[in-house]
Homo-oligomer: A and B are copies of this chain.
Amino acid sequence: MIAYPLPDDAINAALAAVRFDADGLVPAIAQQHDSGEVLMMAWMNHDSIGETLRTGRVCYWSRSRQSFWRKGESSGQVQMLVEWRVDCDGDTLLLRVDQQGPACHTGRRSCFYRRAESGGLQVTEPVLLSPDALYGKKDPSPGF
Residues of A within 8 A of B (CB): 2-3, 6-7, 9-11, 13-14, 17, 27, 29, 31, 35-38, 40-41, 53, 83-89, 91-92, 94, 104-106, 108, 111-121, 142, 144
**How distant is the Cα of A11 from the Cα of B115 in the complex, in angstroms?**
11
- Tell whether, in the assembled complex, residue B119 and residue A10 are in contact, meaning their CB atoms are under 8 Å apart: yes
Contact among B10, B88, B118, B119 for A120, CB-based, below 8 A: B10
Known: A38-B38, A111-B87. A116 touches B10 (CB 8 A): yes
Known: A36-B36, A53-B116. A106 touches B88 (CB 8 A): yes
**How distant is the Cα of A84 from the Cα of B53 in the complex, in angstroms?**
32
Nearest 5 interchain pairs by C-beta: A36-B36, A87-B111, A14-B116, A85-B112, A94-B112
**How distant is the Cα of A14 from the Cα of B6 in the complex, in angstroms?**
41
CB distance from A71 to the nearest CB of B (A): 15
**Inter-chain contacts of A115 with B (CB < 8 A):** 2, 83-85
- Tell whether, in the assembled complex, residue A17 and residue B87 are in contact, meaning their CB atoms are under 8 Å apart: no
